Structure 1
Amino acid sequence: MDDSPVKDRTVVVTGAARGVGAALANALARRGARLALLDHDGPALEAAAAELPGTALAIPADVADGTALSDAAEEIRGRLGPPSVVVANAGIAEGGPFALSDPANWRRVIDVNLVGSAQTARAFLPDLVLTAGYHLQIASLASIGAAPMMSAYCASKAGVEAFAHSLRAEVAHLGVAVGIAYLSWTDTDMIRDAGRHPVLRELRAHMPPPARRVHPADAVAARLTHAVEHRRTAVYVPASLRLAQVARAALPPLVLRLTRHALPRLEAGEPLRPTGLLGAGGDADRAAVRRR
């Protein structure tokens, strides 16, 4: 699109090897952006970059590694120019009871989702100040209303929401805009893997019909692209998710009431166990951590 604000601008997307990150990179590339893609999974990242129209710079990097992010930022500046847009999308998840969770896995979710998002902002903030750019933090319905059996993921997504609000207030006078994307269930390998676990599948089934619908990644990417082009402060996918924001104070007691009865019934049928890191992204993260 010749009239897109991102045309000929450098855009960074983390977690770009698959899912929402890959779909968003594709949508932005079609609008003429110069894409820099970051992900832990080097082979999948190269494959995703090869699918894009035009040429994209693919840099394998762990967002939990501040040094790797700093090196990636320097390479991007040198090869594509300073970024005008940074999308902090990288994330992993694990389900299951907190008391039985592997402490290393629990901490890893926090490190990737929360600490990694903050380190992404730290690495690229000088560029965004220089370009009066836009930082989009990918959050979640879990940022608004926490659910049982997803304690690390919910804690991390609540944390990135608070971080983005704080960052926005710090950098607005520098011309940098900060947006938060609240995503509901999206058709990614992580969500499909979660659906294989009875307790996670049942908990989603107890949500109101609009809240439990799974949205195609391409449709989510289209909404995110619009948010990037218009430097939105907040974007909700689906748009009705904004109602949860309005009613967020009522959500914890509602979740408690529902799960107080559902969890004992589920546990009676099958012991509740940790899922491990979910999806192909979780598999790639485990493999990369083992290689260190």
Structure 2
Amino acid sequence: MSVRTDGGRQSRVAGRVAVVTGAARGVGELMARRLAARGARVALLGLEPDRLREVAADIGGDTAHWTVDVTDAEAMERVAGEVRDRFGQVDIVVANAGVATGGPFTDSDTAAWNRVLQVNLMGSATTARAFLPALLDSRGYLLQVASLAAITPSPMMSAYCASKSGVEAFAHCLRAEVGYKGVGVGVAYLSWTDTDMVRGADENEVMRDLRAGLPWPANRTYPLAPAVERLVDGVERRSSHVYGQWWLRGMQAVRGVLPSVIGLAGQREMRRAEPRLAASGPPRGLVGAGGAADEAARRESTG
């Protein structure tokens, strides 16, 4: 297995132990694959045992997987101990696990809305709490996957925007708390990227059309592989901020005015969409295959 970058130098993650949550599909799966390709030993965490097993077998090498819900603090503490026992250390944690739902807040599916915050925000905090002792020992690095949704509020996405704004703030706070102890903390930002989650959201015609009406470059779906390569580069650099699409860096400079602009423009778009929303009914449940897996796992756990 090659552990060199395109520039010919040895990767700084070679031989390191990387934990990736939400590793059964999408961003998490490809992050695990790319980290392993650069020589990392990888622990895959997620809710889909069959997919995790397949991904781990396909990656090969020193790879292992655990089926665990990131919102279960007791289970995450146990898994963190098992990962450390299995590999001897933990150097990198990618807090990527996430779910989404959409639709107007007033008509939202309460259980799905709450679950988005539980997984995306509380699950990220639970992940950090479980693995920080090991990262403190290794002077390691935590990458928190956030989103354009942390920078730009959007109608029909209140749960997702709230959760991603929350994890962005959480990661910034954590960086100040543990940086002097040698632990790096980064935030990754992604726009609409070609994953099961985004494809699932696009199955709703109203949400798809609202997204298509966004100004360029926020109105298109971006390929997964280049975005993940940028994130893995950020892990190697232990970056404080990592941008999956080139233009997201520029959004930081204008984020202060975006709530006012979107607050006005969003009212116009919602007024236009209201008849179609009334006719079709609000979206229900979590979107995409990952959302379906989350719902299935919770049904199974409750009998």
Do both proteins adopt the same fold according to a TM-score greater than 0.5, normalized to the shorter chain?
A: yes
Matching residue of 1:6: 13
- Following TM superposition, by how much is the alpha carbon of 1:125 offset from its aligned partner in structure 2, in angstroms? 0.4
Aligned match of 1:249: 256
SS where residue 85 of structure 2 aligns? helix
**Does structure 1 residue 112 correspond to structure 2 residue 122?**
no
* 1:161 matched residue in structure 2: 168
Could you tell me which of 286, 290, 295 is aligned with 1:286? 295
| Alignment map for 1:142-291 (pairs within 5 Å) | 142-271=149-278, 272-291=281-300
Match of 1:72 among 62, 74, 79: 79
Shift of 1:92: 0.1
Segment drifting more, 245-254 vs 31-40: 245-254
Instruction: Write out per-residue CA displacement over residues 187-218 of structure 1, whole angstroms, 9 at most, x where no aligned residue.
Output: 00110111111221122112122112212221
Deviation at 1:270, TM superposition (A): 4.1
Whole-Å separation in 2 of the counterparts to 1:275 and 1:166? 33
Hey, what's the Cα distance between the residues in 1 that align with 2:171 and 2:230?
19
List alignment gaps of at least 5 residues for structure 1: none
Contact 2:212 2:220 survives alignment (8 Å): no
Paired positions, count: 292
SS in 2 for 1:78: helix
CA–CA distance in structure 2, aligned partners of residues 106 and 211 of structure 1 = 24
Written as runs of structure 1 = structure 2, the 5 A alignment for 1:84-163 is: 84-163=91-170
Deviations 1:45-103 (A, max 9, x none): 11222221424111000000011111111111111121100000000000011111122
Quick one: distance in 2 between partners of 1:255 and 1:213?
Answer: 18
Question: What's the offset of the Cα at 1:241?
Answer: 0.8
Report runs of 4+ in structure 1 exceeding 6 Å deviation. none
Post-superposition offset of 1:252: 1.1
TM-score (norm 2): 0.94
Which segment is superposed worse, 9-18 or 43-52?
A: 43-52
Q: Which runs of 5+ in 2 are unaligned?
A: 5-9
| 1:227-273 CA-partner distances (Å, limit 9, x unpaired) | 00010010112121112111011111221222212112222234250
Give TM-score scaled by structure 1 length.
0.97
Root-mean-square deviation (CA), in Å? 1.1
Asked if 2 retains the 8 angstrom alpha-carbon contact of 1:24 and 1:218, the reply is no
Q: Which amino acid aligns with 2:246?
A: A
**How many Å separate the matches in 1 of 2:134 and 2:250?**
35
What's the offset of the Cα at 1:5? 1.0
* Contact 1:91–1:109, Cα closer than 8 Å, also in 2: yes
The amino acid that maps onto 1:47 is E
Q: In structure 1, what is the equivalent of residue 7 of structure 2? A: none
Q: Tell me the SS of whatever aligns to 1:276.
A: coil
SS in 2 for 1:199: helix
Measured in 2, the distance between the counterparts of 1:207 and 1:244 equals 14
Q: 2:243 is paired with a residue of what secondary structure?
A: strand
- 8 A Cα contact 1:96 1:274, kept in partner: yes
Q: Given the alignment, which residue of 24, 29, 49 partners 1:22? A: 29
Shift of 1:126: 0.8
How many Å separate the matches in 2 of 1:38 and 1:270?
37
Q: Tell me which of 37, 45, 48 is aligned to 1:38.
A: 45
Question: Which range moved further: 105-114 or 205-214?
Answer: 205-214
Deviation string, structure 1 residues 153-196 (Cα, Å, up to 9, x no partner): 11100000000000000001100010000111110011011111
